[in-house]
Amino acid sequence: MKRTLFIALLFTVVAGFVFADTQVGIVLPTKDEPRWIQDQTRFLDALKSAGFSAKVLFSQGDSAKEKANVEALISEKIKVLIICPQDGTAAAAAADLAHKAGVKVISYDRLIRDTTSVDYYVTFDSFMVGKAWGDYLNSKVPAGSKGNNLYLYAGAASDNNAFIFFEGAWSALQPKIADGTYIVRNSDKAVALKNKAKLTRDEEAQIIGQVTTNWNFNDAKNKAEANLTAAPKEAKGTVYICAPNDGTARAIADAFAADKDVKTYYITGQDAEIASIQYIIDGKQSMTVLKDVRTLVNDAINAAVAYMKGQTPPVTSYYNNGKKDVPAKPTAIVTVTKDNVKKEIVDSGYWPADKFTGLK
């Protein structure tokens, strides 16, 4: 009798764990990029430590799957949805579903556009990321020189952040494009707009449409190779490359390094991926922007916890998504080069030293 009662009680406890509601639902764009696996790990570890149940689902580059993921999480009675949209505008439908179900919606890293159903935005200062690229490239140009070769690349046109990154980069690069310090070699739209310091979204879209990598390694490689094939010898030599993230930066760098007419290149990046930190140590990538995911994840979790407690998370800024000024807390960024890679990446505990070779 006691044994039967014990088994029954044990089953009840186990069933309670199996069928317990998920408190925080997290939807990330893809598991095929190291950045998002990194975010997944940090989310699950941090939420477990904080005593909250969570589930991470991936959209795999498909907005329909993203919406289905949100529906599945709503069915598990989530209280808060943290979502990094695959397509900022398409994700509005998923945010609306969550909002109607009484779920608080936190737009993570990328802004969900054209809906009032976004409660909070956790992000890095994307404008400053782009500006850091431009400032870095400008710092490598010999003083007073003219006609330096500039190649522009951008993220996906479906990602609102790609526009903000580009806007930041343009703010630093445009004055030097306008005065002839640079010649843009792979976008006639950028050349046509070179005298305009502040671009409209449509004008940005014209340039991004020509130089987009779609955040895809192969697309970036193919576009870089096509640009180099079309470029005359004088458009090579020393080149300055504005690349939108680490994955595309490595692909573009490999293409430029393989061209015998390219003698020196400077190339940007972001995310501080392990492979790109090794590229920086090896001299194959010039810089990356460290967006400390630990901080971003903590900001998202703190916001989620605040909502679950009926509180309001801290607000330091607002981002207009076309329908609403979304309250936000942008996180600071750090430029990482070979000169400070050990301090900012290893000494800070972001990545362990044993992930790299040749680190000094």
104 and 243 inside one domain: no
Q: Distance (Å, rounded) from C-alpha 75 to C-alpha 21?
A: 9
Q: Is residue 250 included in any domain, yes or no?
A: yes
131 and 264 inside one domain: yes
Q: Is residue 81 included in any domain, yes or no?
A: yes
* Of the candidates 195, 263, 192, 255, the residue with the CA atom closest to the CA atom of residue 228: 255
Compute the C-alpha angle 193/197/201, nearest 5°: 70
- pLDDT mean for each 10 residues of the chain (360 residues): 43 40 93 90 89 94 96 96 95 97 96 97 94 98 97 94 96 98 98 98 98 97 98 98 98 98 98 97 98 90 93 94 95 94 95 94
Per the structure, the count of domains in the chain is: 2
109 and 258 inside one domain: no
244 and 208 inside one domain: yes
Q: Is residue 193 included in any domain, yes or no?
A: yes
112 and 230 inside one domain: no
73 and 173 inside one domain: no
15 and 62 inside one domain: yes
142 and 279 inside one domain: yes
pLDDT at position 89: 94
242 and 281 inside one domain: yes
pLDDT at position 20: 54
pLDDT at position 148: 98
Q: Is residue 100 included in any domain, yes or no?
A: yes
103 and 67 inside one domain: yes
pTM attached to this predicted model: 0.78
Q: Distance (Å, rounded) from C-alpha 350 to C-alpha 145?
A: 38
Q: Which domain holds residue 305?
A: 2-118+293-331
74 and 110 inside one domain: yes
CB–CB of 86/66 below 8 Å?
A: yes
CB–CB of 120/303 below 8 Å?
A: yes
Q: Is residue 360 included in any domain, yes or no?
A: no
325 and 351 inside one domain: no
Domain at 227, CATH number: 3.40.50.2300
Q: Is residue 29 included in any domain, yes or no?
A: yes
